[in-house]
Structure 1
Amino acid sequence: MPAPAELADRLARHGQEHVLRFWDELSDDQRQRLAGQLDAIDLDEIAALYAGDVDQPDWEAAARRAEPPRAMRLADRQSGQGGGLGVTREEAEKRGKAALDAGKVGVLLVAGGQGSRLGFEKPKGMYPIGPVSAATLLQIHLEKAVALAERHGVGVPVYLMTSPVTHDDTVEFLAEHDRFGLAEDDLFIFRQGTMPAVDKETGKLLLADKGELFLSPDGHGGTVAALATYKSGTSGKSGTSGKSEMAGRPGGENAVEHMKRRGIECLYYLQVDNPLIPIGDKELIGYHLATDSELTSVAVAKETPDEKLGNFVMLDGKLCVIEYSDFPAEVAAQTDEGGGLRFWAGSIAVHVFGVAFLERMLALKDALPFHIAKKKVPHLGADGEPVDPSEPNALKFERFIFDLLPQAENPIVVEYAEEEIFAPLKNAPGAPKDTAEYVQRFLVNQHRGWLQAAGVELPADTPVEISPLWALDAEGVLERAARGPIAVDGPTYLR
């Protein structure tokens, strides 16, 4: 059975007809799957990206004319002063609390990654990271949302973005655990889109199998489009990609529609691999609101010029992030009058977005540019045999959420101490940082610090873990301590 003429002609016009070479060997289901994947791809866009017709900024040149960002520095936060934003900590906390009390805050949690680099062949959100409890990353984050809702007396919806490779496992896992206490309407799971990889020498689409394109998630920048395209109630497995899987059942709502129904005006954005984040932090939300910012970002101070964090900078009056790989070493090493790094502000992928801003960005087709990366991509050769390249053989196309910064009104940066907000799980044991042991040490230190600040006596070097349902933060621990003594005489999980 030949491929449909319309499909074959469309592919031939772009020199991509090779993806149908195994069509006669496919079952009807496999043909439908491949046709759906191809229907979802903008072949003109792929051709333009490969040809270099899409603008790619010269980031190294841009870095050489950049200025440090407008920011609330950590010292000013800790002293209670207004700092570079002109807003005191007390004012910020008051504004943030009011928004949380009014039910205007939601959480945007990105969970599209697998744990392969950790030797964990499941979605990373299912990794058991609790130092005493073995609670998973998803459990910790969702229980924080439950505790936040209890504190403020109103639901705090979580918009959880998966990817095609993590979606089904994540949905099943959360159903098994009854969403870790979140109300059904407080958890909106949606799936990001994908982009095909192409051969870097020819621009040809690559096949993962005879009836399947090689597709990968379109980057955390794909969050924006997925908020509007993925409908609640979408049925079927997540193996296919693009328009066909995003359609949803009649009557379903997308995430933006859900936000509007719930009255959500700002979103606290984070990635699933970082369990240290104070989700819904009223101070950060308050700075965002008090400065009329459309996009507020958290920074930590870089310890060394070559630290692998994106750099917040000002370019032509616009706030931007330049990736560490695009930042010239001599610029990164520049110092200020006090001898500190001039470009100190490292991005940790924690933001607050205005929902109205995201809606405005959705109306712009090219709000987020594609970044092109050379990667090793296993694929099916012309003879139908697997090819496992030893060198980068393909181009992948991704969008990054921080590229929204230049388009936001009044974007700001707020500095936090690394130990209070940033311990991402990225590496297998043996790496110098960002391993499970590293993250667990940060969690234990944070929780021990909260308890000691509340006057609780702790045995030396004893692991203690606090469930968000027992106390959300240092303030919650103080409230617990005021009710009666807290005993810790060995490894303890307070829940």
Structure 2
Amino acid sequence: MSLKSDLVALLTPSGQQHIVDNFDALGHDEQQSLSEQVREVAPVLEHYNRIFVASMAALNPSGNSSSDVEPPHDADVAHFTEASFAADSTRASVANAMRHDGLASIAAGAVAVLVLAGGSGTRLGQTFPKGMLVCPDLLQQKSLFQLHCEKILRLEKIAGCTDTIPLLLMTSPQTDKATRAFFKEHHYFGMSERNVIFFVQSAMPCYTRDGKILMETPSRIASAPGGNGGIYEALQKSGALGEICSRGVKYVQVVTVDNMLVKLGDPLMVGYAIAEKADVVVKSTPKVSDKEAVGVFARRLGKWGVVEYTEIGDVRAAARRDDGARLYDAANIAIHLLHVDFLHRAAEEMRTYEYYHAALKNIPTHTGSVAGVKLEAFIFDIFEFASQFRILQVDRSSEFSPIKNADDATQTKPDTPFTAVRDLHALHTKWVRASTNANSTATFEVCPSVSYDGEGLEGAVIAGAVSEAAQSGAGIVLIKPPSNL
């Protein structure tokens, strides 16, 4: 049998033999490349086909699903906000105890942080990984990657440990090389190379609307990232999950790279998971309005997940509890804490999971742009397999300010570098004024190496900087490590 015949035999069970239609016209190297792709994908193509069929069947163009949806019960949600602490001192004491337990877990090496870093930032007008972004209005002029690493190092210092929090970065084929080089160039931003673990997000083939796999070139299958739900298989397949488990990690906090305010490795979140014996804990904030374009945590047909804003429907979005609070109000802010047992279980479930999301897109191919389908699974799709799922409601102003859009001249667009830095300055100014009783009109920006969550700002050096800012009438003051002041 010829090489092409071998490949046709591999593709016939899935009905995707057309992948090698142009095989004979390819050069030797192109034939070898396509052969490797076919041999890698052929064993799972029938599964991918089933995913395509199920995902297309689930498409809901009206965006107004009426399937059985149930909001979280009171027992599912812990309100750990400033308002809840002010109203109930016992709740604040419980939170402090949980935070203490979380710090102990961090010191014991039981916590890792995973940053979803596959985005290339094209919506921001950049061609490099989003984590390399340096916001123009940030006085520190540090990339998102550097800010995240410095938060981890500061948290380790608070926990009284060194080099105990592994940082995992899930890249994409488009961002992996540049991200690795960026970290190496900057000496891993003070973290040990051993503790920065890269792995690549899985990809899915792109389909025509009638179920045929598209070809980007005659020798390359068209593919696209399979959504952040690919985290589970990618963690296991790459060996990263086994590596952190061998180090004693029990909990992995998963966050997006673009949230300027995220508390990486949050000890309160860890302590809450321990207290609740939860294998999945998610953070949430109330929606800012009924029509905010954000998904909400809810049960659908009795199973936990996220109901997107395009699916919830106007009636449910506006529904109220007896006390006037919004019924579907647990917004998904993409901060999740997952027990490693759940990660193992989810990886196994993904081997047969078929309920992906079909995105109808124009896909470039060697014959021109084609109306096609990209298949994505999201990390929260698999929460239905959690044995203990809990929601931790927090303050948006102190935990969530994502960067999704490019700045514009009017600075009125939401979720931009400008709004993220603005929110960071508001939070840090609040920290400084609370810690120093400052009466300054200045705005403050605090380096992550100085403070993780508002602690450590009571010292004389910091107070001196605040006083100097007050006297000089400075607009924005950067609070750096004392040795650099």
Question: TM exceeds 0.5?
Answer: yes
Match among 259, 262, 274 for residue 244 of structure 2: 259
Aligned to 2:149: 142
Amino acid paired to 1:332: A
Match among 155, 168, 173 for residue 159 of structure 1: 168
Contact 1:2/1:23 (8 A) holds in 2: no
1:60-119 CA distance string (max 9 Å, x none): 233555555620123434545677xx9921221122122122221111111011100110
Aligned to 1:234: none
Measure, in 2, the Cα distance between the counterparts of 1:379 and 1:467: 43
Q: Structure 1's 292 and 171: CA in aligned 2 closer, same or farther, altered over 3 A?
A: same
Contact 2:283/2:335 (8 A) holds in 1: yes
Amino acid paired to 1:281: D
Q: Which runs of 5+ in 1 are unaligned?
A: 231-253
Task: Please give the secondary structure, in 2, of the residue aligned with 1:477.
Answer: coil
- Quote the RMSD (CA, aligned, Å): 2.7
Measure, in 1, the Cα distance between the counterparts of 2:111 and 2:348: 22
Q: Structure 1 length normalisation: TM-score?
A: 0.86
Aligned to 2:329: 344
| Aligned-pair CA distance for 1:396 | 1.4
Q: Which runs of 5+ in 2 are unaligned?
A: 481-485
Aligned to 1:241: none
| Aligned-pair CA distance for 1:329 | 1.2
| Aligned-pair CA distance for 1:22 | 3.4
Residue 260 of structure 2 corresponds to residue 275 of structure 1: yes
Match among 202, 208, 219 for residue 227 of structure 2: 219
Amino acid paired to 2:48: I
**Aligned residue-pair number:** 460
Q: How does 1:381-420 map to 2 (within 5 A)?
A: 384-387=366-369, 393-420=371-398
Match among 176, 186, 189 for residue 180 of structure 1: 189
Measure, in 2, the Cα distance between the counterparts of 1:53 and 1:217: 16
Give % identity: 27
Q: Structure 2 length normalisation: TM-score?
A: 0.87
1:374-397 CA distance string (max 9 Å, x none): 3323322xxx4432x5xxx21211
Contact 1:87/1:290 (8 A) holds in 2: no
Amino acid paired to 2:158: R
Amino acid paired to 2:464: P
Measure, in 1, the Cα distance between the counterparts of 2:86 and 2:278: 21
| Aligned-pair CA distance for 1:296 | 0.3
Measure, in 2, the Cα distance between the counterparts of 1:355 and 1:214: 33
Measure, in 1, the Cα distance between the counterparts of 2:293 and 2:195: 35
Q: Structure 1's 79 and 182: CA in aligned 2 closer, same or farther, altered over 3 A?
A: farther
Bigger drift between 437-446 and 364-373 goes to 364-373
Aligned to 1:424: 402
Contact 2:447/2:478 (8 A) holds in 1: yes
Amino acid paired to 1:133: Q
Measure, in 2, the Cα distance between the counterparts of 1:33 and 1:126: 31
1:321-357 CA distance string (max 9 Å, x none): 2111111111111011121211111011101111122
Structure 1 runs (4+) deviating above 6 angstroms are none
Measure, in 1, the Cα distance between the counterparts of 2:179 and 2:279: 30
Q: How does 1:289-368 map to 2 (within 5 A)?
A: 289-315=274-300, 318-366=303-351, 368=353
Measure, in 1, the Cα distance between the counterparts of 2:3 and 2:188: 43
| Aligned-pair CA distance for 1:461 | 5.6
Measure, in 1, the Cα distance between the counterparts of 2:166 and 2:154: 12
Aligned to 1:248: none
Contact 2:55/2:354 (8 A) holds in 1: no
Q: How does 1:439-454 map to 2 (within 5 A)?
A: 439-454=420-435
